Every structure is written in C-alpha cells, then in structure tokens.
Structure 1
Amino acid sequence: MEMTDRDSAYEFLQRKAVSEEEDARKAAEEAAAEKQRMRQEEATRKAAEKEAAAREKQMKSAVGRVAGTAAGTLGRQISNEVGKQFGGSFGKRLGGNIGASLGRGILSTLFKLR
C-alpha cells in the first residue's frame, strides 16, 4: 500500500495566492513596459514632426529668397527701362529701386512666400 500526502486547503490557497501575486507582478511589469514604449514612440514622432517642420520652413525661406531676388531683378530691369525714358540716369536709378521693391512686394503678396 502506497502512502499519498494530499494537499490541505491551506497549502492549496497558499500556492494560489503566490501564483496570483506573480501574475499581478508580471501584468504590472508588462503595463509599465508598454507605457514606456508608448512614451518613446511619442517622443520619436514629435522629434520627426519637428524636424520635418524645420526642413519645410527652411525650404520655404530659400524659395522665398530666390523668388524675391528674381522678382526684384525683373522689376528693376523693367523700371530701369521706363525710368530711362523719363528721367535719364536719375530716373533709371530711381525707377530701378522702386521697381525692385514693387516686384518683391507683389510676389510676396501674391504667393505669401515670406
């Protein structure tokens, strides 16, 4: 005849309590790890958005400078020719400066580049 040592209710409940504590600890660790992962993803996303916004701003600024220069040059050339007809070299110089300012101003107003 074999002797069998059966678990008492106390021993069963002790094992169950330990198992539940381990499950709760694991769940808490997993939740903390998930929260940390989410924070890291959010920080990475924000950094990428900030970098993209900075690149876009830089590109718009460069385009605005080039377009402003081109518009100023075009306005200056047109006004130089008109000013030359009406006031000689003074008219040419004055017309060129006014034309450059007008060209840049009109382009800026039309396209909101600056």
Structure 2
Amino acid sequence: MKERRLIGYWRNEMHLEYPDPIDLVDESWDAEERHMVWSYLCSGTMVAAHMGLSPCRACGKHNGALEFSDGTYQWPEGLAHYDFDHAVRLPAEFVEHAVKQLDSLEAGSATLDWWLAITGQ
C-alpha cells in the first residue's frame, strides 16, 4: 500500500515541530498559480472525517473536519482556505505536483463513446 505524504498540518500544543502557517504567507505568490493550487486542493478525494472542526490559525474560521487526498498527498479540508484567504504558500514540490496534475487533465480529451456503447445507445 502506498504511503501518502501529509501536508497542511500546523503547529499546536502537541506538535511544536509542525510549521506555523503564518510563517508561510507570501502575498507576492503568483495569483494564477495560487488559484490553481486552491482549485486542486478543493478537488481531492475525501479519505477521512473527524469529529469537531479545526480552527484557522490565522483568523479563527472553522476549517472543516475532513481530510482529502490525491493518492500522493493528504491534506486537511481547511488547507484550501489557507491558500485562498491567507496566501499561505505551500512547498514548491507540492505546487509543481498540483499544477502538473491539473495541466494533465486539461490536456486530455473527453469522450462519451464508452458510455454510449455500454448503455446500448
């Protein structure tokens, strides 16, 4: 079984070694790239649901209780909020991965042929 890489888990009383999202704010981050990453974070597959809501470390907003994955990375639901609302710039490795995945989807084409064939249309 493939191990997923966790991203977007922030410093708290139990994990002082985790990063503080405020340290990663980058208002100069290219808006188009930032939007692509936000879109990618919103399109993950839900892999876990937890009791209670996680508060944003910057503004206190409730950030949900779900975790998402793309099979390579796993992140909390609120990570998209940190990107969109607070310009928290994620590591280049993740940004490149997200942009590459989105570019791959956009470069592909879609067809109804298989669907029509199996439904007898």
TM range (shorter): under 0.3
Q: Which has the larger radius of gyration?
A: 1
Q: Quick one: higher RCO (CA 8 Å, sep 6+), 1 or 2? A: 2
- TM superposition score normalised by structure 1: 0.23
- TM superposition score normalised by structure 2: 0.22
